[in-house]
A and B are shown apart, each in its own frame.
Chain A
Amino acid sequence: MTRLTFSEIDHTVLETLRPAGRGYWTAVGILFAGVLVGASCWAYQIATGIGVGGQNIPVAWGTYLINFVFWVGIAHSGTLISAILHLLRARWRNPIARAAETMTVFAVCTAGLFPFIHLGRVWVVHYMLPLPNQRTLWPNFQSPLMFDVVAISTYLTVSSLFWYTGMLPDLARVRDTAEGFRKRVFTILSLGWTGTHEQWRHYTRIYLFFAALATPLVVSVHSVVSWDFALGIVPGWHTTIFAPYFVAGAIHSGLAMVLTLMIPLRRIFGYERLITLHVLESVAKTIILTGLIVGFAYGTELFVAWYSRNIVEMETFRWRLTGEYAYGFWLMVLCNVAVPILFFFRRIRTSIPWLFVISIIVNIGMWFERFVIIIGAVAHDFLPHAWGLYGPTWVELGIMLGSFSLFFFLFMLFCKHLPSVSMTEMKETLVEGSGDGY
């Protein structure tokens, strides 16, 4: 196989920005229709009341919280790929870093909608912000829910800035090849970037700091999300393992989503020479690791419940394995731990259809993991007379459909309007030691 050249990289990526065909706009239209379904369901809920959802006593947190945690989790591997693997100098991440970062931004945006949706009276959302008011009432920053407001807002800001700043050299490349109105738009977006040694000198430094700061941030954000549960004195939630367990699970689901997005992207845009099989295989190997960590966490939870001899804790986990939602538990074990083990076989992790199918299975499994944790714990806690079950209503399912549609809708728009593979970082991979001199 011939070696990649700079011009081939540019040509391949810039070709994706050409005007789209009918198939693309049909797909965008279908996804937009899904977004409208979600928006209509939310509007109906606002007009009627939060009671149109299936939340009840004792299960007060339903699919809205499940989807919130799911989307925040999806966001995490984007930061893993763009920041942590950058610090580790893992160059295989270069072809997928841009798309993974984009996935992060859109997933956080989608996740951020759910607290608003779950709030019911969304017009009083400003109560969560520390704004002066006549009654001197302020948010309680001792609450993990307020940690979450701060953490998610920070994460959205940081990941958006990281994404945009990292794209500056590529925006300049698009500007230099565009004409007319597009050129004017990209001239503004690229801020006058010309790739001088002075600009690179500062750019390489800030990129390093972005990565170094995003790394502890990503760990803290999902730890904070886990404390929404772990700080509640509920059997099945009140455990110190939750923070690392959630972080590992977040990266596990996010990596699976990277594969789910990258495989069609690679095929549709002819990225085979840039996003090579080696890159996808490396993601699959990382999924083996995160899958094993998640499996270890499942086992530890069960062991600690048994070892504690606490009857409430033991009953919670007995019910989790054998009760009404046992299907969710076994599905999550199967999808998140057992199926990814197949990636130990080289033939499977180098087969595109297998990679794609397993990535979707892991995504399903990770959604059910959140279902088991969030619903299962409160449905069956201390008082037997207060036990109850939960099922999502059509309004919740519509909003969930809307959230998935919104995520893929935004991603589809991104793919055709901005460079979905970093041309700069791809060029760096061709030159040994690039960037080190700064």
Chain B
Amino acid sequence: MVTEVYVMGLFKDENRAAQAVEELRRPPTAWTVHGVHSPFPSRALAEAMHVKKSRVGWFTLAGGIIGFFTGFALAAFTALRWKLIVSGKPIVALVPFVIVGFEFTILFAILGNLMGFLTQARLPRLANLACYDPRCSGEHFGILASCSATDKDHLCAFFTERGGVIRVLD
């Protein structure tokens, strides 16, 4: 049985890390890149990983639309439950109720935004920490790659030659 080994290459230089990712991903390759870790959103790494645009915006949009109608409907419903004319305004008054609708739009859009983030980024998930090196939140860029046990030395050598530090994950 061929066992898979996970190796993390840690780089202090963002561009070197990005170059290593590109080389690792270049076919034909026996190694699989599982992810890169960085202390800030690195443009170079995003390009090397060919990151696609996130779809959380759809959650935000859905939240906003639901929010507007919820806010407006709440205001209209409460007004219709006690049909008291105030200041000569109609019972279902458009202008003031749009303000309530607007605030609910923002509130629900933000809640949708957050929900989108948590579901798409799969958080909270403490199991993430198993394949992680604490240096990646500081000043290192980590590349998590895997290979067969027989190829481990090659992969380690690949990272070392490019100026990286190795960490083999159990």
Contact = CB atoms under 8 A, between A and B. Distances in A.
A193 B132 CA distance: 10
Contact of B137 (A172, A198, A217, A428): A172
Given A141-B96, A150-B71, A424 B40 contact: yes
B154 interface: no
Contacts of B40: 169, 424-425, 427-428, 431, 434-435
Interface in B56-88: 56-57, 60, 71, 74-75, 77-79, 81-82, 84, 86-87
A197 B35 contact: yes
A187 B75 CA distance: 41
Chain B, interface size category, equals: 35 or more
B54 A154 contact: no
A350 to B, nearest CB: 29
Contacts of A213: 60, 106, 109-110, 113
Given A141-B75, A431-B14, A187 B129 contact: yes
A49 interface: no
Contact of A428 (B41, B81, B84, B124): B41
Contact of B117 (A141, A202, A423): A202
Consensus secondary structure, chain A interface: helix
Interface string A167-187: 001001101110000000001
B110 A173 contact: no
B46 A203 contact: no
B114 interface: yes
Given A210-B110, A213-B60, A434-B41, 15 more contacts: A10-B139, A140-B86, A154-B107, A173-B138, A191-B123, A192-B127, A201-B52, A209-B113, A220-B102, A220-B106, A224-B99, A433-B43, A437-B42, A437-B44, A437-B45
B42 A206 contact: no
Interface residues of A, number: 66
Contacts of A199: 121, 123
Interface in B114-153: 114, 116-117, 120-121, 123-129, 132, 134-139
Interface of B: 14, 35-47, 49, 51-54, 56-57, 60, 71, 74-75, 77-79, 81-82, 84, 86-87, 89, 93, 96-97, 99-100, 102-104, 106-107, 109-110, 113-114, 116-117, 120-121, 123-129, 132, 134-139
Nearest to B36: A197
* Closest 7 pairs (CB-CB, A-B): A437-B46, A138-B78, A176-B134, A6-B139, A191-B124, A141-B75, A437-B43
A324 interface: no
B37 A195 contact: yes
Interface centre among A5, A146, A199 (most CB of B within 10 A): A199
A298 interface: no
Contact of B78 (A130, A177, A206): A130
A308 interface: no
A151 B103 contact: yes
Interface in A238-260: none
A172 B116 CA distance: 20
A142 B89 contact: yes
A138 B127 contact: no
B46 A130 contact: no
